[in-house]
Structure formats: structure tokens, C-alpha cells
Structure 1
Amino acid sequence: MLRSFLIGLVAGQRGITPLAVIATATRRDEIAPDLPLQKLMLNPVIAAGTVAFAAAEMAGDKMKTAPDRTVPIGLAVRGITAAYAGAALAPRDKRVLGAAIAVGAAFASSYAGLAARKWGMRRYGQTATGFVEDAVVFGSGLAIANPSLFAKKG
């Protein structure tokens, strides 16, 4: 359930990143494609599309016109992707709980992350703080969904 909580924290910062890292984990056999529509992520075009959308979201975040992550549509996207990723990372018999934990974490981290980002932007600007946040979010998401990428090899 820890992975579900952690992916929820990721979703609170970037709404599409959870789908991209779940697609990567599915293609790498880190997680079984058991959820509805998850087998689609085995398709290289679909998997690449999730990564492209995550990259587009990260690029859009640097624009002055980017809305706060706490606007209703932003929270809705974060809730949906957190639920899906949280369920995918939870034990099979605890998928609903994993989804709920991820959604709660996503909503809480959306507000906390926005406050932290606004604090950082006053000192370092929108672009610099956005790139740091992207690196932390993408790296964390990748590690949460694909732990063998970071495991010590023998």
C-alpha cells in the first residue's frame, strides 16, 4: 500500500506522470496488466503516448498561463490517474483501498505541492522550480512503479 500512497503524491504534482510510469512498469513486466485497459499499455504506441502526454504536461507547466494544479479539472485528472495507478500498484485483493489511498494522497499533495512551488517561485522563478519539480516527480514515479530499475545488481 506504500507504493499506492507514493504514486498518489506523484499524481498530486503531475497528473499524467502516473500513467506514463504505469505504462512503463507494465511493458517491463514490473506489474501485471490486470486492470481494465491496462493491456493497452503493452502497445508501444499507447505507452509512448502516455510518455508524450506527460512530457507535454511538464512543458505546459512552465508557461505563465498554466493554471494551478488545484483547479477543479486539474484535481479531477489527478484523482483519476492516482486511482488507476494506486490500484495497479496495490495487491490484487486491496485494489480499491490502494486507489482510495492514492486519491487522498494526490489531493493533499496537490495543495502542499502548490504552496511549496509558489514559495520556490518567489525565489527561483517558475521555470527553474518547474524543472526541479519535474525531475523529482518523474524520477520518483519511475522508482515507485519500476523498483527493479533502481535495485542493486549483484
Structure 2
Amino acid sequence: MKTFGLLPSALIGAVASARSMTPMATIAIARLAGRAAPGRLVLLDQPLFEFGALFMGVGELLGDKMKSAPDRTVPLGLLARVMSAGIAGAALAPRGREKAGAAIAVATAVSLAYLTLAGRKRAMARVGQTRSGLIEDALVVAGAAAVVVLSTRRR
């Protein structure tokens, strides 16, 4: 049962594998909507970081469609995934299990980043960069919203 309690952390790590800033942006939106995460929030309990996460999430969704956008597996891309997945994974973990939630989210994000990149490259070859990015955005944002809504409660 304890392992199942960390499932939201693993799932938000999968989100971070494709869009590094979406996990934190989704939790920030949930907080603004009056929802509370089960675990402690690191940084996102500060308004500056909360709004910064929203801004960065939107910026990433827009920037991903640019031809100059780097692969998600470059060192800075992986670092962003580690940070975002760790913060979000801890927030969605049961109280007292934040470190385990962060570790699971980070491991999921980094390992799946290579798989999601391969899938995105195949999709780009078939439908182009912009269309594949928009499809990936829709899937990732919907997944993040579902994970966060199902893992948080009304304050």
C-alpha cells in the first residue's frame, strides 16, 4: 500500500520527462485554485516561485516548437527535469514520504526523457515539429492535470 501511495510521484516524473516545467506549473495552478498537496511544498509555497513556475511552464510550451529548441536530454534539460520532478514528486507524495516521492519522480523523469525524446523524433518525422509538439503538449498537460487533481484536495 505504501508503494501505491507514491504512484502520483512516479506519474508526475513521467510528465517531467516530456515537459520539465509542467509539473511545477500544474501544482502552482492547483494551489491558486485552492487545492492542497499531500506532501510539503518546497519553493512553491512562495508566491514568487509559484508565479515563476507558471511563467516557465507557459514559456516551455511555446519554446518547444522552435527549431532551435534543444533535446530534452542535454545536460541542462536533464537538470531542469531533476529539479522539477523532485519538487513535484515530493509535493505529491504522502506526508513524511517526500524524499521517496522526489527520488521516484526524478528516476522516472530522467529515464523516460530518452524514451519520450525518441517518440517525439518519430512523430516529428511523420507530422512535423509544431504539430507533434502540440500533440505532445496536449497529452502531457492533460496527464499532469489529471495526476495533480487526483492527488490533491480542496483546502
Q: TM-score range by the shorter chain?
A: 0.7 to 0.9
Aligned length: 146
Structure 1 residues without counterparts, runs of 5 or longer: 150-154
If the length of structure 1 is used for normalisation, what is the TM-score?
0.87
Tell whether 2:12 aligns with 1:7: yes
Most deviating of 51-60 and 61-70: 51-60
Question: 1:93–1:15: structure 2 CA closer, same or farther, 3 Å change rule?
Answer: same
* Map of 1:36 onto structure 2: 42
Amino acid at match of 2:75: P
Is this contact kept in 1: 2:92–2:151, CA < 8 A?
no
What CA RMSD, in Å, does the superposition of the two structures yield over aligned residues?
1.9
* Map of 1:108 onto structure 2: 111
Is this contact kept in 2: 1:13–1:110, CA < 8 A?
yes
* Structure 1 stretches of 4+ moved >6 Å: none
* Map of 1:117 onto structure 2: 120
**Whole-Å Cα distance in 2 between the matches of residues 24 and 47 of structure 1?**
8
**Whole-Å Cα distance in 2 between the matches of residues 50 and 12 of structure 1?**
16
The CA deviation at 1:148 is 8.1
Tell whether 2:138 aligns with 1:135: yes
**Whole-Å Cα distance in 2 between the matches of residues 7 and 136 of structure 1?**
13
* Map of 2:82 onto structure 1: 79
* Map of 1:92 onto structure 2: 95
Structure 2 residues without counterparts, runs of 5 or longer: 1-5
